[in-house]
Amino acid sequence: MIRIAVLGCGRIGAMHAANIAAHPRATLAGVQDIHAPAAAAVSAGTGAPVFPSAEAVFASAEVDAVLIATATDTHADLLEMAVASGKPVLCEKPVDLSL
């Protein structure tokens, strides 16, 4: 069972989190959002824990992979963190506003 965390709990992130939570071969390992009420709402609907920061997600031994569904201008920095952590990552498009 793969343990996936979702960064970003807006409309798309919440949809991804619900789909992961419902998947028979995946576990929603946690959620994180800079807007704490958004993370709390997704947590309440899925039972997943809330991480205090993206850094905590990437440092967690309880997370196998990360899905990035944050604001576009944050994608590049989060992708760099994912690469540094060695965790597989799926990032919503576009990758960033400019590279």
Query: DSSP letter at 50?
Result: B
Q: Which H or E run includes 75?
A: helix 75-85
For 69-87, how does the pLDDT look when each residue is reduced to its tens digit (9 = 90+)? 999 999 999 999 999 999 9
For 28-67, how does the pLDDT look when each residue is reduced to its tens digit (9 = 90+)? 999 999 999 999 999 999 999 999 999 999 999 999 999 9
Please tell me the pTM assigned to this model: 0.95
Identify the architecture of domain 2-91 in CATH.
Answer: 3-Layer(aba) Sandwich (3.40)
Domain positions in the chain are 2-91
